[in-house]
Amino acid sequence: MLSEGHGASGYEAGLARLMERQFSPLADRVYADRFGNFYAEKLGSPGKHTVMLAAHMDEVGLIVTRIDDRGFIRFTDLIGIDPRTLLAQEVVIHGKQEVLGVIGSMPPHLVQVTQAGKAIKIEDMGIDVGLSVAEIREVVEVGDTITLKRQLQELLNGVVAGKALDDRAGIAAMAVCLEELDRMKFGPKVVAVATAQEEVHMRGSVVSTFALDPEIGIAIDVTFAAEANNKLNIELGKGPAIALGANIHPAIYRGLVDSAQSARLSYQLQPIPGRSGTDAWSMQVSRAGIPTGLVSVPLRYMHTCVETVSVEDVVSTGKLLAYFIATLPEDLEGFLCF
Ligand SMILES: [Zn+2]
């Protein structure tokens, strides 16, 4: 299960086998680079041009800072987790072996009146793994990473909730795209990249875009969907969000919208005035500039262990990408001209 694999930013090695299992049957060749990016290449005919797809495989995580003298593991945020969402959660510590733990939360009876309702700081939290101090020190060290643990839950109506759906939902969409391409005729070489270290400034896509030098790059990520406590326009279950704005090449935006309409797939528009905060941002300015697009799966509760998406949106995202690729004209220069 993609969402249940563990790989905090910079520590994605544990995901390689999962990616291989996912993509080997769908690609002509799979390989990894020394940075930790994973590539699945599918050859089109004549295969003159390269279309790069990028979805990040890393997830938000924590890191061990010390083991206190009562046996609680202290930690800090690697990047991107809101400490308010951590109390009473299950985690996995990636030490000499994987150790399951829970982040403790003080019983309400013991919380002093002056502290009630106040957020607890991350440095005041501790992970309980049930071992003595001496036993813990044998398996866990300062610097070990910690990821959230949560089984993917099926809610009603094809909606699922779990951890790391940012951006394993994007990885799943890339897999759907390659699967769809099996049944289609398409021209370019397609390289689906599961990028490393996106959550720490899109670093995996910097090196993979440079390596591939594609004619077209499309990032597939998740985007904030409307939930109980916000009034955002993008909604779950209404199809992928196609981005437009300075980060996006206008011909690719138009091509994606045309593809969605021709393939009768529902889609939403997402104007992004500045930086997109996704792999599209780094892809666009790689080398001499790469024409870049961005398609996002609507997601609720980002960077928590109950990230929620509609499976239908994930599938539509993959289908949209496949249709876009299969209908690209051979004259890409003309297509990209604006
Ligand atoms: Zn993401």
**Residue 117 falls inside a structural domain:** no
Instruction: For residue 296, give the CATH number of its domain.
Output: 3.40.630.10
Long-range pairs for 233-236: beta carbons < 8 A, 24 or more residues apart: 233/268, 234/268, 234/270, 234/296, 234/298, 235/268, 235/298, 236/159, 236/298, 236/299, 236/300, 236/308, 236/309, 236/310, 236/313
Catalytic site positions: 198
| Average pLDDT value over all residues in the chain | 94
Tell me what pLDDT residue 230 has: 85
Q: How far is the CA of 9 from the centre of ligand 1 (A)?
A: 11
**How many helices (H) and strands (E) would you count in the chain?**
8, 17
- Do both 307 and 211 map to the same domain? yes
Q: What does residue 313 show for φ and ψ, rounded to 5 degrees?
A: -65, -40
Residues 253-304 have pLDDT tens digits of 999 999 999 999 999 999 998 888 899 999 999 999 999 999 999 999 999 9
Tell me what pLDDT residue 14 has: 87
Residues 303-335 have pLDDT tens digits of 999 999 999 999 999 999 999 999 999 889 889
**Residue 107 falls inside a structural domain:** yes
Residues 116-174 have pLDDT tens digits of 677 789 999 999 999 999 999 999 999 999 999 999 999 999 999 999 999 999 999 99
Closest-CA residue to 133 (of 69, 76, 46, 83): 69
- Do both 141 and 223 map to the same domain? no
Range of the domain at 136: 62-112+122-148
Question: How many domains does the chain divide into?
Answer: 2
- Do both 46 and 130 map to the same domain? no
Tell me what pLDDT residue 104 has: 85
Q: Mention every residue, 6+ apart, whose C-beta is less than 8 A from residue 228.
A: none
CA dist., res. 3 & res. 233, Å (int): 26
Q: How far is the CA of 253 from the centre of ligand 1 (A)?
A: 20
Tell me what pLDDT residue 73 has: 96
Q: How far is the CA of 222 from the centre of ligand 1 (A)?
A: 6
**Residue 259 falls inside a structural domain:** yes
Q: How far is the CA of 303 from the centre of ligand 1 (A)?
A: 9
Q: How far is the CA of 166 from the centre of ligand 1 (A)?
A: 5
Q: How far is the CA of 12 from the centre of ligand 1 (A)?
A: 14
- Do both 232 and 325 map to the same domain? yes
**Residue 93 falls inside a structural domain:** yes
**Residue 183 falls inside a structural domain:** yes
- Do both 265 and 279 map to the same domain? yes
